[in-house]
Structure 1
């Protein structure tokens, strides 16, 4: 499929937008406008797309005519910006999470559904080869019946990362490490095995100068004795690659960063299903490979054209955010929280 006639408006010019812009350049798509109130951040984007308008606010940019809007602005602004695009009949790819609060995330997904406009969410780890291969292992039954797993994100961020106003706050981001960084690994895990029945969690601030948590531990309970421990932090200097495991009655899969390994029998050599030793985002968030964003964007555009569900649909992203919200509620109350009944009031 050719993307040369695809007209795109990119809303945002920070780290979240840069990978999208590089991917769009590789796709040879047309970025007609970049929306930002920080024009000084657009130098790299203007190098890739010299004809793009730089506008503020979003309605000005959307008037240039677009087939797709990519919303890569601060999390708490997502719903309002998606509404601007949807009201003009423009398909949307929105950065994760959907919005800073679950009720706004639900409204966003419903808005797209009612309008009939295409919506995909930037959970690009679903698009990486190791993520696709993990789902294939589970769906094919090669691991047997699911018995449990682990989710671990031992990352580090320098204190300067939190110098940006609002970063790590509930109002702007919806929370800390869980909803901003670890949500990718949690989402990838659930894309393979589904949503837990209930959760438990403890959240704290170990070292980072932020309002929300820099460290969280939790348990995902899938019923029938299937428990999944979760550990996520941005306070683990110097930072290591995230990993998850999925275990079953016939084997275990280990996904570390972009590599997937399968353990099939006691004493047997592990099978390297996907060998990919790309750049790590354990310390530097800008090190994300462009290929994953490109694969996700191409899938989204093709799904909108064909009417099929995108790889990272709004409802599936909402399910992930519901689990995140349940973990935050569990951390506040100290109790188990049923995911299906999690409150939409507040974050």
Structure 2
């Protein structure tokens, strides 16, 4: 198996599961550079993971041994860094969301296609064991026709989280709970049930947080076949709980709780997929296993090696961001639900 030369750009908290996954994938990948701006972060990262570090983004991207770049910067830098990578002929694996606005997200996806480079997006919940099994069951028609569905993300972030510079702001993050936290579960939900339309929505900022963007959102959705669905996402649920996706079909029901799955058929059969219960839904944002990250990165490496699209393309991530934007637009059109 040919090893792929990688540069890792951005050494904040998001780099931890990526760096750990890359260590486990050492037979498939050659990490040439880890790029950051903070001397303290560079020193700590090098001591922990033993990868070469630099502050020179241009030199790292220009290294002829680098075929792909993993971009883990704040969202408002994604477009600029990705464009530099595409110009240098590098493939890109991009941390969610694509960018801070839908227009910038579209520009990024279009740039990858123009450059004929592979663009993958880190929406790793699709690689959880329960999600993989549920997709198989839906593809095989084992649950029958979907009659209703729901998605809930009852997470918690303390005020200290939002006191960090840029967090929960439009300028750096582009949004609040929907674009920053719930995007993973919304993306998985949309990929399982298909494109949704938004019939009604509420978007607000609760008194539990001082922040620019929303920490609560709910929506009534319509599935492609006309079936109803509901969504609720928040970071204002003290202590937090695992995110849940529920699907009711004419032959049975399925419930994804975190990475695990429970299926009950109308004829009495049952199936369970047990999984690690940690989801990063509480105050410790890094409290989750790296398995899904590792599988997503391995898929991206194989996509580069095989000259194919990765499992989670820029277009897929764009469709999820478009749904989030629609929820925000509908919800904020109501005077009584504007952030306060």
* TM-score interval, smaller chain: over 0.9
Partners of 2:263 and 2:10 lie apart in 1 by 39
Secondary structure of the corresponding residue to residue 292 of structure 2: helix
Partners of 1:223 and 1:275 lie apart in 2 by 30
Change (3 A) 1:232 1:317: same
Does the 8 Å CA contact 1:31/1:49 hold for their aligned counterparts? no
Does the 8 Å CA contact 1:25/1:48 hold for their aligned counterparts? no
The ranges of structure 1 where at least 4 consecutive aligned residues each deviate by more than 4 angstroms after the TM superposition are none
Per-residue deviation, residues 228-273 of structure 1 (Å, max 9, x unmatched)? 111111110111111111221111110000101101127x36421x
Does the 8 Å CA contact 2:194/2:224 hold for their aligned counterparts? no
How far is 1:278 from its partner?
A: 3.9
- Asked if 1:259 corresponds to 2:260, the answer is yes
How far is 1:123 from its partner?
A: 0.4
Does the 8 Å CA contact 1:127/1:311 hold for their aligned counterparts? no
Secondary structure of the corresponding residue to residue 173 of structure 1: coil
Partners of 2:118 and 2:104 lie apart in 1 by 18
Does the 8 Å CA contact 1:13/1:34 hold for their aligned counterparts? yes
Uncovered stretches (5+) of structure 2, i.e. residues with no partner: 336-340
Uncovered stretches (5+) of structure 1, i.e. residues with no partner: 336-347
- Relative to the length of structure 1, the TM-score reads 0.91
Does the 8 Å CA contact 2:193/2:223 hold for their aligned counterparts? no
How far is 1:313 from its partner?
A: 0.8
- Relative to the length of structure 2, the TM-score reads 0.92
Change (3 A) 1:129 1:139: same
Tell me what 1:340 maps to.
none
Partners of 1:288 and 1:79 lie apart in 2 by 28
Task: List aligned pairs for 1:86-105, cutoff 5 A.
Answer: 86-105=86-105
Compute the RMSD of aligned alpha carbons. Answer: 1.7
Length, aligned pairs only: 330
Partners of 1:249 and 1:184 lie apart in 2 by 27
Partners of 1:195 and 1:8 lie apart in 2 by 33
Q: After superposing the two structures, state which structure 1 stretch, 77-86 or 199-208, moved more.
A: 199-208
Tell me what 2:61 maps to.
62
Change (3 A) 1:144 1:269: closer
